[in-house]
Structure formats: structure tokens, C-alpha cells
């Protein structure tokens, strides 16, 4: 009888666990520089609530100024104008947890979370020492473990981790090298000279995005203002040190890797120059988001959409099937939901003017 009860109880736990997983919903926060938040149901793409981040009236606009640690249910926000600091919130409730305890003398503060290692890296400028440091934290307890003073690097979209979180690939903008460190003591293991990977003479080359030990490289041929652009995209695998087939196109604009690193999304834009052609005033959206297959270099197709002027890729759904773009439609700031499998616009939602970040999580 006890064995029967034990088996029944075990089956009930399995059923409860399966039910919780089956009915887990994906939500997203649309977070503005003013600290205002729009919560959306990212499965149905409907607005759920309008919220506010406590204590954060000004959110920095850096690539990693708002970061979610889903494993520990933490949301990190770089807030404050001239001397920013980092606040930690409960990811699902947006409740304030603590001030991480830094006050940077430079607004460029970056937060990186190492996968599978429960480590948190913060790159900031220490006022009293007058230099850039990397603080390593325990991501669960939020206690600082070590401080590394290794110079200034470019983080944000140009940095990625190995799958096990034991290695970090950091782009050094001064030397155009990827420097490879182990994440426990930040010991330099190796480096990759990008000038041997991308074109230099007659080209402007750089890293557009990175994910899962892969970087998306863009080479732009230097041409006259009246000539059509000539752009090359390809993915370089930092682990195997191999390149994907090159995509040569006249499509010039913002480019992002899919979450699985299998596709490239390229937003078609045109540079609008000043009257005397001395500088670019803004990048006008041409209303097309192209989808390319990385393994073959072939174009899958594109999604046609309409915006007044500028547009940006705001986020990619965790299932990989939807891309979210923001832009003005008839003067109203809007979120454009796109199906990148069926290549169609699914929906548009009106959102706040100051939205800059999109953070996904599950409940």
C-alpha cells in the first residue's frame, strides 16, 4: 500500500511539473530610458500592464544597461546620469532588491552574465583609482568575488561566452583583437587578430553582433556618397576559427544574429545626408527586414513593413520565430511584431516614446 501511494505521489509530482512547464507563458518588458515599463504577453503579443521601475527615473542607454539573469530571477539596471550605479530588481515582480554598490565615474557601464557558471561581470570606471576595472560577482548572492584591472575593452554586443561559461571572448577595440580569457581568474589564454579575418584596405569592418561563440562581421566597401553600398556579412566561429559563406549585398543596415546563431536578420536602411553632404543626419528605414541562412549564405526572403522614418530591431522572441522592431507609424511610436518563418507582419502595438530595451522572461 505504501509503495502504491509513493508511486501515485511521484506521478502526481511529475504531472504537476509537466503542467507548469506546459503552461509557462513568455512575457516581455519594454523598458524606457525614463524607467517606465510596458509589460506584454509575448505569446499573444498583447499589452498586459504599464509599470514603473522603482528608484530609476533615468536608465542608461548602453547595450548592456538592462540585463536579465533568468536563472536567479534578477534584473540589473544601470541608472543615474553622470555617475551611474546599478540597481538589482526581482525580475518577475520588478521589486527593488539592492544597490550593487558601485558609482562609476564614466557612464559606460556594462553587465555580463556568464552562462552555467553563476558568475556576473561588471565593467566600470573607478573614480578614486581613475581606471577601468572588471568586478566578478556571485550571480546568486550578488557578493563581489574579485576585481580585475586589465584595461579598457569594448563590451556589449562584441563580447560572448563559451557554452559552459568558462571562457569569455572580449573585443579589444584598440588592437582589433579578440582576447580570450578564462572566467575564474581572468587569465589571458589566447587572442585572435581580426585584421587577418576581415578586409581592411578600402573597407570599414567591424563586429555587428555576437552569440554562442560566434561573431557577426560586416565589411563595408568605401564608396562615394552617390554610389550604391557594397556590404559583406559573414559569421566567424571563435571556437573552431572558421568563417561561414559570405553574403554580398547592397542591403545596408542594422544586422542581428538569431538566438540559435543560424540566421541573420538585416534591416534595410538608407543614409540620409545633410544638405552639404558633410554628415549623416539619420538612417531611414526602407521598410524591409531580410532573413539570410548562415550555413548556405542564401537569402530566405524579406518582410515588408511601413514606418515613417527610422526603425530598430528591439528584440527576438526566445522561440526564435518572431522579431520585434520599433518605429513611428503615422506619428505614433509602435512595436512591429514579425513572423520570420512565414515572413509576415503579425501585429503592431502602440508603445511609449522612450522604449529602448526588451527583456523576455517566463511565468
Q: Considering the domain boundaries, does residue 156 fall inside one?
A: yes
- Cα–Cα distance list, 337 to 18, 23, 79 (Å): 29, 22, 28
Please check whether residue 342 lies inside any domain of the structure. Answer: no
Q: Is residue 22 part of a domain?
A: no
Residue at 149 is within a domain: yes
> Whole-prediction pTM value?
0.89
pLDDT score recorded for residue 16? 46
Q: Is residue 125 part of a domain?
A: yes
* β partners of residue 264: 257, 292
Q: Find the CATH number of the domain harbouring 97.
A: 2.130.10.10
**Cα–Cα distance, 144 to 164 (Å, whole number):** 21
What is the pLDDT at residue 133? 85
296 burial type by CB count under 10 A (0-12 exposed, 13-18 middle, 19+ buried): exposed
Residue 123 in any domain: the answer is: yes
- pLDDT in the model for residue 129: 67
DSSP H stretches of helix in the chain: 2-22
Fill in the DSSP letter of residue 154.
B
d(CA 361, CA 68): 8
Round to whole Å and give the CA distance between 207 and 187. Answer: 24
In a domain, 15, yes or no: no
Asked if residue 350 belongs to a domain, the reply is no
Which residues is 68 bridged to in the sheet? 75
C-alpha cell at 120: 556576473
| pLDDT values of the chain reduced to their tens digit, one per residue, 363 residues | 455 554 555 555 554 444 445 578 999 999 999 999 999 999 999 999 999 999 988 999 988 899 999 999 999 999 998 889 999 999 999 999 999 999 998 888 889 998 877 899 998 888 876 688 889 999 999 999 998 876 665 555 578 899 888 999 988 877 889 989 998 888 899 999 999 999 999 899 999 999 989 999 999 998 777 777 899 999 999 999 999 999 999 998 899 999 999 999 999 998 888 888 778 888 889 999 999 999 999 999 999 999 999 999 999 999 999 999 999 999 999 999 999 999 999 999 999 999 999 999 999
Show Cβ contacts of residue 6 under 8 Å, excluding neighbours closer than 6 positions: none
Classify residue 198 by its DSSP letter. Answer: S
Counted domains in the chain: 1
Q: Are 56 and 75 in contact (CB under 8 A)?
A: no
Per the structure, the complete domain to which residue 148 belongs is given by 55-196
Parallel, antiparallel, or unpaired for β 311-316 and 177-182?
unpaired
Residue (of 4, 3, 23, 27) closest to 15 by Cα position: 23
| pLDDT (0 to 100) of residue 6 | 47
Amino acid at each position: 500500500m505504501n509503495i502504491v501511494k509513493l508511486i501515485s505521489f511521484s506521478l502526481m509530482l511529475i504531472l504537476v511539473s509537466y503542467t507548469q512547464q506546459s503552461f509557462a507563458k513568455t512575457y516581455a518588458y519594454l523598458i524606457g530610458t525614463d524607467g517606465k515599463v510596458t509589460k506584454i504577453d509575448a505569446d499573444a503579443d498583447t499589452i498586459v500592464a504599464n509599470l514603473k521601475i522603482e528608484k530609476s527615473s533615468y536608465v542608461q542607454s548602453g547595450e548592456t544597461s538592462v540585463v536579465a539573469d533568468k536563472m536567479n530571477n534578477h534584473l540589473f539596471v544601470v541608472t543615474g546620469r553622470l555617475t551611474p550605479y546599478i540597481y538589482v530588481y526581482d525580475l518577475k515582480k520588478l521589486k527593488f532588491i539592492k544597490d550593487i554598490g558601485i558609482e562609476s565615474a564614466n557612464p559606460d557601464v556594462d553587465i555580463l552574465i556568464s552562462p552555467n557558471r553563476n558568475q556576473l561581470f561588471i565593467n566600470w570606471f573607478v573614480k578614486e583609482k581613475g581606471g577601468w576595472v572588471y568586478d566578478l560577482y556571485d550571480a546568486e548572492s550578488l557578493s563581489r568575488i574579485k576585481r580585475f584591472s586589465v584595461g579598457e575593452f569594448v563590451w556589449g554586443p562584441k563580447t560572448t561566452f563559451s557554452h559552459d561559461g568558462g571562457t569569455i571572448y572580449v573585443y579589444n577595440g584598440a588592437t582589433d583583437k579578440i582576447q580570450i580569457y578564462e572566467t575564474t581568474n581572468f587569465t589571458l589564454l589566447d587572442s585572435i587578430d581580426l585584421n587577418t579575418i576581415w578586409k581592411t584596405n578600402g573597407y570599414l569592418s567591424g563586429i555587428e553582433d555576437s552569440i554562442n561563440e560566434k561573431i557577426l562581421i560586416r565589411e563595408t566597401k568605401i564608396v562615394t556618397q552617390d554610389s550604391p553600398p557594397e556590404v559583406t556579412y559573414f559569421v566567424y566561429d571563435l571556437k573552431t576559427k572558421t568563417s561561414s559563406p559570405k553574403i554580398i549585398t547592397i542591403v545596408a543596415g542594422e544586422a542581428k544574429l538569431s538566438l540559435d546563431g543560424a540566421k541573420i536578420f538585416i534591416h534595410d536602411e538608407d543614409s540620409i545626408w545633410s544638405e552639404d553632404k558633410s554628415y549623416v543626419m539619420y538612417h531611414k528605414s526602407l521598410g524591409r527586414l531580410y532573413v539570410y541562412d548562415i550555413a548556405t549564405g542564401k537569402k530566405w526572403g524579406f518582410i515588408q513593413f511601413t514606418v515613417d522614418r527610422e526603425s530598430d530591431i528591439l528584440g527576438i522572441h526566445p522561440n526564435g520565430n518572431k522579431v520585434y522592431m520599433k518605429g513611428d507609424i503615422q506619428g505614433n511610436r509602435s512595436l512591429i511584431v514579425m513572423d520570420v518563418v512565414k515572413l509576415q507582419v503579425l501585429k503592431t502595438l502602440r508603445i511609449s516614446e522612450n522604449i529602448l530595451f526588451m527583456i523576455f522572461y517566463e511565468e
